[in-house]
Structure 1
């Protein structure tokens, strides 16, 4: 009986020691929030070494949904994030810079890995960008630029060369009307006032046509990149200047499409009575170009999602990026429209 009791006690001691050792080896002691964070980083680092990487988290502040171009841009980013396995925290600012600030501060609190911004306007960004830098989160600027004194506040800019787009539009007008020696009256539909594309497309256009004294800009007005504003502003141009207008230069397709309606309602023929040059390259614009109602479209590629996700991945791998990544773009005319219409992805 005594021997049986000793055996039971011995087995019990072995069981207690085994349980203590298991608990000791499988648990982690945290004495502070800093220790918890450090432990989490160690776990993530260990997982990466083993090939078990947690999803990269990207916080993206989109400026709004003002146009078909913008909607295509958003779809491209969402689809590319899903394909790349990147966790996307997406916020639409509805054309409000203050809402973009709110979104950015939310991303900082969430401790996302990378922040990307499509800024609604160029100015007013330096203070909030400093907050991002202080948080140690890399920043990518997408589509539109920011005007800051310290370029180290962001890693890279991905987007179009808007100045060159304006130059391309100007060159088309010069070539199209090269035989005309009399005054050519031009009206311009600008985008959102203070935005990068509106500023640069306007400057590029003017820098090209300034050598031609007969090319005269009669009126330029912001129309916020929207169909409704494009129609309204063009209507006001026609009511004031009417038959003086020979050319419409529109900073995007949506405004040009709205302007076409205004021109037709006024009793003129878009593409014939008034030459129309637009920027973007949406499928709807190509349809109008195939109908002869738009004469030329300067391409601005919205499908920036794959470029953004590649940049995010390279950042997380510790690679350096160029300060500016410009997407390749073309110019299309009426003769090319029939071949291209229906092929556009946006």
Structure 2
């Protein structure tokens, strides 16, 4: 059968229109049906510190209170396992996935796989690379803290209260994670306008207490004149205290310790005089996470970011706020 040029053009136009329709359909977020109860996944990045344990408990408690089934996984600090965990949730047919992405780029395939399977994703506490996946397009929203602002607030407090101290060691969080990237940026950008403060060294401690201790020991040996340690989380800050003491110095006197997270242990260390100040980063995501899922199912417009308010602890308020720290 002879195919005319006109028929070819019509066929090509139809194929192009179909392709455009498919792209448009895929660009839309998967819906979440309104139901009395849901089966949802929570892909946790790790469970090796109090912050993560508190976050997991908050999610589990909220699911139980609402009568929702929660499929929980722990990636044990592995981005590759977390991708596999999300794929397992997809295979189990969950209605929605709550994801705390370990790193900004490696979890993109997991988000896209869920989207392709028609399962909406809500990101908790860590974001992903916005050039590769976007809220409102590839996932519903990011719920968490303003990590840049956390770093900036710590730097601002330090500049005001350093009392002559000025030589800084920075213990960074997990390389490639949004809190590590942003807490460094917020802090570094602020002190850039204060040349009296010198950042002697900055190295990852992977948000872990013992690694934070090891890195702090190494950096203190290389820079014995350091008198400020800024850690991206409580665990590394507590590890740094051990390193300072092992170096024969007094934490809180010879070396100012600054941190972000605000668990009970570190707030008590402020009261004890070993830690100077901490910007809070609350792990209690359960209520807001589940409320957001319900709002999405109801067809409400969800902002691309839902920012949790963070308190700030220092010697002026630590004792009275200790009971409310996680």
Q: 2:109 aligns with which of 127, 133, 143?
A: 127
**2:298 maps to what in 1?**
317
Name which one, 1 or 2, has greater alpha-carbon Rg: 1
What SS does the aligned partner of 1:193 have? coil
Uncovered stretches (5+) of structure 2, i.e. residues with no partner: 1-32
Q: Is the Cα–Cα contact under 8 Å of residues 125 and 147 in structure 1 kept in the other structure?
A: no
Q: Are positions 1:169 and 2:154 aligned together?
A: yes
8 Å contact 2:268–2:322 — kept in the other structure?
yes
Question: Counterpart in 1 of 2:9?
Answer: none
| Matches of 2:196 and 2:60, distance apart in 1 | 46
Q: CA deviation at 1:54?
A: 5.3
Deviations 1:94-145 (A, max 9, x none): 0111111111111111111101110001013333322211111111011000
Per-residue displacement from partner, 1:69-90 (whole Å, max 9, x unpaired)?
1111111111111112221000
Q: Which runs of 4+ in 1 moved over 3 A?
A: none
Higher helix share: 1
1:329-344 paired onto structure 2 within 5 Å: 329-344=310-325
CA contact (8 A) 2:173 2:179 kept: yes
2:228–2:257: 8 Å Cα contact kept in structure 1?
Answer: yes
Q: Which of 232, 252, 264 is the aligned partner of 2:214?
A: 232
Could you tell me which residue of structure 1 aligns to residue 41 of structure 2?
A: 59
Partner of 2:13: none
Could you say which residue in structure 1 is the equivalent of 2:169? 187
Paired residue for 1:104?
86
Give the corresponding residue for 2:245.
Answer: 264
Q: 1:319, CA displacement in angstroms?
A: 2.5
Deviations along 1:283-314, whole A, 9 cap, x unmatched?
00011100100000101011011111111122
Equivalent-residue separation in structure 1 for 2:312 and 2:117 (angstroms): 42
Give the structure 1 partner of residue 185 of structure 2: 203
Which structure 1 segments of 5+ residues have no match? 1-44
Query: So what's the TM-score if we normalise by structure 1?
Result: 0.81
RMSD of aligned Cα (Å): 1.5
Q: Check whether the contact 1:246–1:275 (CA below 8 A) recurs between aligned residues.
A: yes
* 1:289 alignment counterpart: 270
Give the distance between the partners of 2:36 and 2:256, measured in 1 at CA. Answer: 54
- Return the alpha-carbon distance in structure 2 between the equivalents of residues 280 and 91 of structure 1: 23
